[in-house]
Amino acid sequence: MNDKEVTKLIASEETRQREGLELIPSENYVSREVLSALGSVFTNKYSEGYPGKRYYGGQDFTDPLETLAIERAKKLFNADHANVQPHSGAPANIAVYFAWLEPGDTVLGMRLDHGGHLTHGHPVTTMAQLYNFVRYGIKDKETGEIDYEEMRRVALKEKPKIILAGFSGYPRNLDYAKFAEIGNEVGALLMADMAHIAGLIAGKALPNPFDFGFHVITTTTHKTLRGPRGGMILTKGKVGNPLKQVEKNLENLPTLIDREVFPGFQGGPHMNNTAAKAVTFYEAAQPEFQTYVQQILKNAKKLADEMMSRGFKLVTNGTDNHLIMADVQTSFGVDGRQVQDILDKIGLSANCNSIPDDPLPPFRPSGLRLGTPAITTRGLEEEHMAQIAEWLEQAIKNRSNDKILNKLSNEVKEFSLRFPLPSDS
């Protein structure tokens, strides 16, 4: 590459990834095949529209490519329809809102500070200005159990048009059957945002919301699914309650969603990204992917146990999935932002995060969010989790001691270099 500045930055980032450990639960490493697809000549091609209904010529290979991605996604998640064009998870969620709601309609979703996502109705988002978001949360911070009784009371009172199951910082499993029971009682569309756990569902390590009567699933295609940064929307046929609240027919939902993705608020899809998604769905359908996601869960549980044994207070006292939420303010008297910065110094990447009913502000919250998808991709197993927990503890306790932090940094680097990146193979 002639651009020396960009070349240097790419090389530096590659070195950072190779010499450190990625513990942010929403990040992962893609395969060489996915990287190759992302860098393919499909990046040159405009293809506004959908297969068979494009607005540009020269679609000889874009149509079969997108169709291949669609069919692989449907098979992987047992869906009847798939839209693989959303550029990320947020546009995927917004497309469903636009397809099903009228301005002012109500959506019931998880509170952000209890584990939900910004696009589930936080007041700072544009969607919160268009729709009426009401919220549910957890009943017991020690167990992480969601207050389903309160959810039902809110649903009966507010009559939401959508009940949304999903999270970005919740370490336990959702009871989809209870969501469905409440949704069917009030006639709401059942929507699951599985961005964080799509890979775990594809690999059959966690249940599929469609098996419980959900109508629509949105997801990103990276995180545990281990693909390119992008989004996807999946729908299932007419199931559950006939949704008496609304005039729209469930059978039209796929068409309504497609129209909102394009031409609603996206233009041409990124066909190189579509190619990478197709490769991702192929990889996720292989038997070894199931082994991989099971290892994610084993590693997460072991890491949680090792952290608790070292004095970390964990939200819900453990995890059922890939992510861990630690209350570092209670554990060590230091906020999550400070811990994030400390860990960066020794080559461990995690992110600060609010915890339920956090007394600290969002920019300097009490919590630290971490997980095991990326380190599992690199080949780490349960036997390595104690070492990671020890580095976490030592870095926090010795946060003002540069000599010890430098020693930990060298240890992390030496350890990390034993586990190649997927792109190295």
Which residues have a catalytic role annotated?
46, 48, 193, 220, 223, 229
Give burial (CB, 10 Å; 0-12/13-18/19+) of 54.
middle
Residue where the block lists tokens 């068409």: 255
Copy the structure tokens of residue 203. Answer: 């690999």
Candidates 273, 277, 266; CA nearest to 91 is 266
- The Cα 110–Cα 354 span in angstroms is 14
- Angle among Cα 307, 309, 311 to the nearest 5 degrees reads 75
Round to whole Å and give the CA distance between 325 and 323. 7
Phi-psi bin for 152: left (phi > 0), alpha (psi -120 to 50), beta?
alpha
Determine the Cα–Cα distance for residues 26 and 157; give it in Å rounded to an integer: 34
Position of tokens 């006939």? 242
β-bridge mates for residue 219, sequence order? 232
List the one residue out of 187, 177, 190 whose CA is nearest residue 148: 177
- Asked if residue 152 lies in contact with residue 306, where contact means CB atoms within 8 angstroms, the answer is no
Q: Which residue, among 390, 389, 418, 410, has the nearest Cα to 346 in the 3D structure? A: 410
Q: Is the torsion defined by CA of 348, 87, 31, 224 positive or negative?
A: positive
How far is 420 from 17, CA to CA, in rounded Å?
Answer: 10
Neighbours of 412 (CB within 10 A): 22
Q: How would you list the strands of the sheet with 132-136, edge to edge?
A: 81-83, 231-235, 216-220, 189-193, 162-166, 106-110, 132-136
Amino acid at 255: T
Q: Say how far apart CA 46 and CA 50 lie, in whole Å.
A: 11
In whole angstroms, what is the distance from residue 171 CA to residue 246 CA?
Answer: 34
Between CA 196 and CA 208 the distance in angstroms is 13
